[in-house]
Structure 1
Amino acid sequence: MKLTAEHLNWAVHGTQLLTDVSLSIPPRQTFGLIGPNGSGKTTLLRLLAGLRKPKQGRVLMDDSPMERMRQRDIARSVTLVEQQAETTDRITVHDVVALGRTPFLSALRPWSEQDEAIVTRALHDVDMHHMADRLWHTLSGGERQRVHIGRALAQQPKILLLDEPTNHLDIRHQLSILELVRQLPVTVIISLHDLNHAMECDRIGVMDGGRLVDCGPPKEVLTAFRLRQTFGVYADIFADPIDGSQVMRFRNAI
């Protein structure tokens, strides 16, 4: 499913957080969103997920304006994994992941064996099947993050949005989650802090001061000039001798 943003603007209490942001992400593309803290990445993701309505502009799924769609229909196609999503309920890991099936359930369509199979698969995909009966409040930050991603996978979205999903994860689970996301047959928009991870995306967009200042293939966007201009760092860019991929090392520009 294609996702398009047209001239999005968003402000809070007179402070402009997004200004005239337009982008189009084709079906099944993995699009990385990068930028300094406070550059507007999270705000943009929430607008793209339909959790907020833009002050100006619009978001389209394929050619359908999201503003004309029911929230339940949006939830059947789009899911957002946010940085922080807490609960005080005494709920198990299995039941958190099962929440991903909520948009598909009704009095006429109750929980089924198929739903249970989808939840089981999602738990395995994020390496949390062995903790299915653990209570949420007993989990570490990294374990909670994997459960959130599992819930999103259980929803089987056509468009998956992730806001810095590797936060709190150890390096092994960072790599496994990113590899899993790249293999999913869905459209993915993923906000990342690690610019070397961003190199694995099909395209990336650079946010700065609420604007989308650059967009394109990673090797064309992540230049020494762009990194100094937007992030305030010097970058040495190397070709990995094993596979030829681009690797970056950073130095403080101050």
Structure 2
Amino acid sequence: MRLAAEHIDWSVHGHQLLDDVSLTIEPGETFGLIGPNGSGKTTLMRVLAGLRKPRSGRVLVDDASMYAMHQRDIARIIAFVEQQAETLDRIVVREAVALGRTPFLSALQPWSEQDDAIVAQALANVGMTHLADRFWHTLSGGERQRVHIARALAQQPRILLLDEPTNHLDIRHQLSILSLVRQLSVTVVIALHDLNQALDCDRIGVMDGGRLVDVGPPSQVLTAARLRHTFGVHADFLDDPVDHRRIMRFRSAL
């Protein structure tokens, strides 16, 4: 399913957070969004998820305006994993993941064994089956992040938005989650802090000062000049001796 933003502007108290951002993510594409802190990545992700309506511009889902859709219909298509999403409810992990099924439930379509199976599979996908009956407030930050991702998977979205999903995760779970995301047959937009992780995306977009300043394949976008200008670092480009993949090593430009 295609997701597009057209001429998006967003400002708060006179401060421009998004400035004329236009972007199209193709069906089945894994699109990485990168940029320095404060560049507008999270704001753009929330606009794409339908959680914020921009001052001007629009978001399209397969050429249909998101703003003509009901929130329930959007939730059946798009799942969003935020950087920080907390709950004060005294619920267990399984119940938190089951919230992903909410858009599909109604008086005519109550909870079923199929919903149980979907939740169980989502827990297994993020390695949280053994903690399914633990209370949310007893989890570590990394465990909570995996539960958020499981909730999004239980939604069975056609478009998955992830805002720095590997925050709080140890390296093993970072690699596991990113591998899982790459295997999903859905359109993925993923905001990333680790630029080496962005190398595995089909395309990436660079945010800087609220503007989308570059879009394209990682090999064309992540140049020494771009990294120096936008991120303020010097980069050495190396080939991994095991699988010969390109990796980057960074040095301060100061």
Question: Where on the TM-score scale, by shorter chain, does this alignment land: which range?
Answer: over 0.9
Tell me the distance in 1 between the aligned counterparts of 2:62 and 2:225.
34
- Aligned to 1:72, what secondary structure does the other structure show? helix
1:27 aligns to 2:7 (yes or no): no
After superposition, the C-alpha distances for 1:125-149 in whole angstroms (9 at most, x for unaligned) are 0000000000000000000000000
Match of 1:245 in 2: 245
After superposition, the C-alpha distances for 1:206-225 in whole angstroms (9 at most, x for unaligned) are 00000000000001100111
After superposition, the C-alpha distances for 1:181-200 in whole angstroms (9 at most, x for unaligned) are 00000000000000000001
- CA RMSD across the alignment: 0.6
Match of 2:216 in 1: 216
* Matched letter for residue 58 of structure 2: R
Size of the aligned set, in residue pairs, is 254
- Aligned to 1:220, what secondary structure does the other structure show? helix
Tell me the distance in 2 between the aligned counterparts of 1:99 and 1:122.
12
- Aligned to 1:98, what secondary structure does the other structure show? helix
Tell me the distance in 1 between the aligned counterparts of 2:173 and 2:244.
24
Tell me the distance in 2 between the aligned counterparts of 1:125 and 1:31.
21
- Aligned to 1:8, what secondary structure does the other structure show? strand
After superposition, the C-alpha distances for 1:20-61 in whole angstroms (9 at most, x for unaligned) are 101111111000000000000000000000111111110000
* Matched letter for residue 206 of structure 1: V
Match of 1:197 in 2: 197
> Percent of aligned positions with the same letter in both sequences?
74
Tell me the distance in 2 between the aligned counterparts of 1:106 and 1:55.
33
1:136 aligns to 2:139 (yes or no): no
Match of 1:178 in 2: 178
- Aligned to 2:109, what secondary structure does the other structure show? coil
Tell me the distance in 2 between the aligned counterparts of 1:243 and 1:20.
40
* Matched letter for residue 188 of structure 2: V
Match of 2:234 in 1: 234
Match of 1:16 in 2: 16
Tell me the distance in 2 between the aligned counterparts of 1:55 and 1:41.
17
Unaligned runs of 5+ in 1: none
Match of 1:125 in 2: 125
- Aligned to 2:148, what secondary structure does the other structure show? helix
* Matched letter for residue 107 of structure 1: A
- Aligned to 2:201, what secondary structure does the other structure show? coil
- Aligned to 1:149, what secondary structure does the other structure show? helix
* Matched letter for residue 221 of structure 2: V
Match of 2:65 in 1: 65
1:93 aligns to 2:107 (yes or no): no
Match of 1:107 in 2: 107
Pairwise CA distance, 1:241: 2.5
Match of 2:40 in 1: 40
After superposition, the C-alpha distances for 1:69-109 in whole angstroms (9 at most, x for unaligned) are 11110000001100111111110000000000000001111
- Aligned to 2:42, what secondary structure does the other structure show? helix
1:79 aligns to 2:56 (yes or no): no
- Aligned to 2:146, what secondary structure does the other structure show? helix
* Matched letter for residue 123 of structure 2: L
- Aligned to 2:230, what secondary structure does the other structure show? helix
